[in-house]
Amino acid sequence: MEPISIQIKDVLDEMHNKANIKESYVIRKDGLIICSYIPGSNSQRISAMSAALMELGKRTLKDIGNDGLKLIMVSGNEMNIVISGSDNIALVCAVGSEVNIGMIFLLIKKAVPQIQSILEKSYGNVA
């Protein structure tokens, strides 16, 4: 059996091959990086801020309407950040603003359960 990092990297490779994703990270709830693809120089800071955004989004939705969080998108002039995941992990993708964001949403929707499955097979229930 391949190491977990290789299995997760294969999922990220598939995403990057289908869309122009600049960077992607699989992070834990506490912001630590589990695996990354083309990490930038600020990868630790990006992952920590992404984890904080996920937590704020979850709390806000719970307080307003007792709803669950699907994803967070931060949209800039030249780039978008999309964050989606489960209770304990998240997939963070940085893409250019010209990229078809619907395609990114679909790729993330497919990748998150694959990554979750890899982690559950190795560590038990992580969600």
pLDDT in tens, 59-109: 999 899 888 888 999 999 999 999 998 878 999 999 999 999 999 999 999
DSSP states along 106-127: HHHHHHHHHHHHHHHHHHS---
Half-sphere exposure of 35 (CA within 13 A, CB side): 18
| Portion of the chain with pLDDT greater than 70, in percent | 98
Please name which of 115, 57, 65, 63 lies closest in space to residue 90, comparing C-alpha atoms. 115
- For 11, 45, 124, the CA distances from 107, given in Å and listed in that order, are 10, 24, 24
Note the pLDDT of residue 75: 94
* This prediction's pTM: 0.89
